[in-house]
Structure 1
Amino acid sequence: MTTFRLAHLSDLQLPPPPLPFRWRDAASKRLLSRFAWRRKQHRHLQAVLDAIAADVAARAPDHIAITGDVINFATPEEFAAARQWLEALGAPDHITVSPGNHDALSAAGAPKGFEPWKPWLSDGAEGGFPYLRVRGPVALVNLSSAVPTALHLAQGTLGRAQIEAAGRLLRESGERGLYRVVLLHHPVARGVVAGRKALTDAEALRAMLAETGAELVLHGHAHEALMTSTPGPRGAIPILAVPAASTPAGGRGQPARWNEIAITAEDRRFRTEVTARGITPTLAVETLGSFVLC
């Protein structure tokens, strides 16, 4: 019997370092987003994120999954600062990052293919998403729904090629008897977020999952603790989301939380137990509850 513990956190929205003014930003979505950040920066605090990260490290999971919005404006300075933060959190082979819409806010000046984070995206695979990372009994199928969008939109898109490739990875992993976890930023189930924030090809992703199956889907974006599902070939596939990992308790929005997911494998059968850990007003992190998925 083997138990693999996977930590899931999302929507870090690391406070940006000092950013120079660039004329190209004045004609992009970044300018409006920087004004919005000034109004909302109290909703994402470094001290809260540091407390969550310290709690994750103290519990020493086997792997950490971060489902996007690591940064805010997709500037080169933010990518570099976030890389330093990731390095402090753990080795690249110990952490998988699935980018979010803020990580791809604007194509202008942003590193192509999230290059500074490449070691945290895959195990060195050539080409683009999806990436497969196998850790013990678990297959992490890492997708990217992060694409630049127009003003006032926060949608995501996977694209037909990525969905088809993900389907192949899920089938192959299932044949190997692995516990398959799909990682992406945007919600998969219907009605979780408004249309302007939704995954544009969620229906195609759901159709693929209904055919190939998966044991678990993890996402962020909604800034809420959620448990939804989507049909699979042998029953419903559970989908979990967590609030933003930098949101303080007592403020607007659900306070920061992360999930510790214990996957126990025995004779190609799995048991999944989830423990939620959340921030308090004093910046302590405590267990909020636990439940068994299957």
Structure 2
Amino acid sequence: MFRLAHLSDIHLGPLPELSYRELASKRITGYINWQRNRKRAMFGDTLLRLVADMKAQRPDHVAVTGDLVNLASKQEIIGARLWLEDLGKPDFVSVVPGNHDAYVPGALKRAYREWHPYMLGDHGLGAEAKHFPYLRVRGPVAIIGTSSAEATAPFFATGSFKRGQALRTAKLLTEAKARGLFRVVMIHHPPISGAAAWSKRLIGKQFFSKVIHDAGAELVLHGHTHLDTIYWLTGPDGEKVPVVGVPSASQNAGSDKPPSRYNLFEIEGGPGHWSLTQRERGLKLDGSGIDWIRERQLLSDGTAVNAHPREDAKPAGEASLDETGHLSG
């Protein structure tokens, strides 16, 4: 059995002191949002507690789907590298960037440099925009990291998945299938119509759904929405591919978003007979401690079979995406 942990939307705090020059940009809107909202909802020891709990579960690998920082200042990006080094060695942790990591022009290049070992494929590819996606093979699992991160105008948090990256992703998925591997695709923005507000959507999600339709995958992981969701995309033989989101790892209890959580996926079996179980663990709604939230088996017919659901768990949104790109179910 292979155990894959999934964290997202770290939003490391507190914010460092920023110069007037740094604030004379889109960062001013994010700075105000942090002071008014996220400082209260996302700063404290919540992240430390969650990571300690995750490590105690002894996963075989950790996937981090973006938004490690808030305003992508130099100090934050360096701080995120130190956080990653504490989380685990580069061969144990795979990262893809989010929109906050590309908050202003030039920030993403700095993140690539600082976090380079965590976004590097097995053959030395990755950690540059033109080199995404990257491929890492760990045991029976192929981890394919894609990038939807890009700098946007104020009040926008969109991402993009363009044709070139789509073609490269399809190639890696096809090669991984030929090797008999369980394929996991990482992306920050949910590649689903309607999963995020228009100003926060993924541009090019039709390319992503076509990649899955043509090449297939066994699991897609994303962040961005700070919600525990499951959607389904259709693979080449009509099988359903789960697209799973996770709440922010730093979210305190008591807000309108689910509190801090991570997913632990248990992968067993082999080609044509894979078994995928999602175990969701995180902060209780009252903030009193960390416990199991949900356990369910994700089946290729597009169903999630719950086992031992927790009374304090908020239900995940479930929907599917048909081949034309419309939500159903």
The TM-score bracket by the shorter chain reads over 0.9
- Contact kept, 8 Å, 2:4 with 2:265, in 1: the verdict is yes
- Contact kept, 8 Å, 2:22 with 2:73, in 1: the verdict is no
Aligned to 1:285: 290
Query: 1:18 deviation in Å?
Result: 2.0
Aligned to 2:12: 14
Aligned to 2:263: 259
Which has the higher mean CA deviation after the structures are superposed, 127-136 or 49-58?
Answer: 127-136
| Pairing of 1:125-164 with structure 2 (within 5 A) | 125=125, 128-164=131-167
Q: 1:38 to 1:105 in 2, by over 3 A?
A: same
Structure 1 residue 178 and structure 2 residue 181: aligned? yes
| Pairing of 1:66-145 with structure 2 (within 5 A) | 66-108=64-106, 111-112=109-110, 114-123=112-121, 124-125=124-125, 128-145=131-148
Query: 1:22 deviation in Å?
Result: 4.2
Aligned to 1:247: 251
Q: 1:110 to 1:139 in 2, by over 3 A?
A: closer
Q: Which has the higher contact order (CA 8 A, sep 6+)?
A: 1
- Contact kept, 8 Å, 2:108 with 2:150, in 1: the verdict is no
Aligned counterparts of 2:136 and 2:174: Cα–Cα separation in 1: 14
Structure 2's unaligned 5+ residue stretches are 300-329
CA deviation profile, 1:77-96 (whole Å, cap 9, x unmatched) = 11110111111111111001
Equivalent AA in structure 2 for residue 255 of structure 1: P
Equivalent AA in structure 2 for residue 55 of structure 1: D
Aligned counterparts of 2:89 and 2:6: Cα–Cα separation in 1: 16
| Pairing of 1:28-43 with structure 2 (within 5 A) | 28-40=25-37, 41-43=39-41
- Contact kept, 8 Å, 2:6 with 2:264, in 1: the verdict is yes
CA deviation profile, 1:75-132 (whole Å, cap 9, x unmatched) = 1111110111111111111001111000000014554462100111124326521100
Q: Helix, strand or coil for the counterpart of 1:211?
A: helix
Structure 1's unaligned 5+ residue stretches are none
Q: 1:109 to 1:141 in 2, by over 3 A?
A: closer
- Contact kept, 8 Å, 1:137 with 1:265, in 2: the verdict is no
Aligned counterparts of 1:282 and 1:194: Cα–Cα separation in 2: 28
Query: 1:239 deviation in Å?
Result: 0.6
Aligned counterparts of 2:98 and 2:148: Cα–Cα separation in 1: 7
Query: 1:163 deviation in Å?
Result: 1.1
- Contact kept, 8 Å, 1:155 with 1:197, in 2: the verdict is yes
CA deviation profile, 1:126-156 (whole Å, cap 9, x unmatched) = 6521100110000011001000001111000
Q: 1:64 to 1:110 in 2, by over 3 A?
A: closer
Query: 1:190 deviation in Å?
Result: 1.6
Aligned to 1:273: 277
Aligned to 2:201: 198
- Contact kept, 8 Å, 1:255 with 1:279, in 2: the verdict is yes
TM-score by length of 1: 0.95
Regions of 4+ moved over 3 Å = 108-113
Aligned counterparts of 1:159 and 1:150: Cα–Cα separation in 2: 19
- Contact kept, 8 Å, 1:16 with 1:71, in 2: the verdict is no
- Percent of aligned pairs with the same residue? 38
CA deviation profile, 1:242-278 (whole Å, cap 9, x unmatched) = 1111111222311111110000024652100111101
Aligned counterparts of 1:86 and 1:17: Cα–Cα separation in 2: 17
Query: 1:217 deviation in Å?
Result: 0.3
- Contact kept, 8 Å, 1:34 with 1:73, in 2: the verdict is yes
CA RMSD of aligned residues (A): 1.6
Aligned to 2:306: none
Which has the higher mean CA deviation after the structures are superposed, 218-227 or 244-253?
Answer: 244-253
Aligned counterparts of 2:108 and 2:149: Cα–Cα separation in 1: 13
TM-score by length of 2: 0.85
Q: Helix, strand or coil for the counterpart of 2:91?
A: helix
Aligned counterparts of 1:42 and 1:211: Cα–Cα separation in 2: 44
Aligned counterparts of 1:199 and 1:267: Cα–Cα separation in 2: 30
